Amino acid sequence: MKLGDVLRPLKIVHAALIGSIIIYAVIGFVVTAHAHPAKQALDPTVILSAFAAAALAMLVAIPIVRKRVLPPMSDTDETVDLQREVDPDTSTMLGKLRGGLIMTWAMCESIAIFGLVAALLFQTGWYVVPFAGVAIVAQLFYAPSETVLGRALRGMRR
């Protein structure tokens, strides 16, 4: 397997997770489209504030957890030969890279779930929009790229 073949499945998983965030928003709007909001025993402001705080905590936690689970990364952005064959040492590092990236994206996606839960709780689809928007921006910020692969390869050699 060549290094260039490593990125394709990661990009597919990344796109699928972004698609699931969009599906959460659709679910939030479809399920609540004909609902009549009942008189709330709880103030939505309190719960939304708690969800927003949890989402913010998740945004803060992502780079911390990411640094712990990804293989050591280099600070330089040199190009990588994507036609190079993967050796056994590189294969081990790539497994750790894959796992770390997928965990990062799952943490980003969890932000959208707060919005979906709020939409279902309060019977209005609009609550999912800001959470899904932040989740998609975070997903795009941590998108798989040749740069990430190259930094991991060079970090492995340190």
| Residue ranges of the chain with per-residue pLDDT less than 50 | none
Non-local (6+) Cβ contacts of 65 within 8 A are 103, 104, 107
pTM: 0.89
**In the chain, where the domains are located:** 4-32+45-156
Q: How far is CA 43 from CA 19, 46, 130, in A?
A: 31, 6, 19
**What is residue 77's predicted lDDT score, i.e. its pLDDT?**
75
**What is residue 38's predicted lDDT score, i.e. its pLDDT?**
60
Percent of the chain with pLDDT over 70: 94
Q: What is the pLDDT of residues 50-61, one digit of tens each?
A: 999 999 999 999
**What is residue 41's predicted lDDT score, i.e. its pLDDT?**
63
Instruction: Tell me the H-state helices in the chain.
Output: 4-32, 44-69, 88-122, 128-141, 146-156
What is the distance in angstroms between the CA of the first residue and the CA of the last residue of the chain? 23
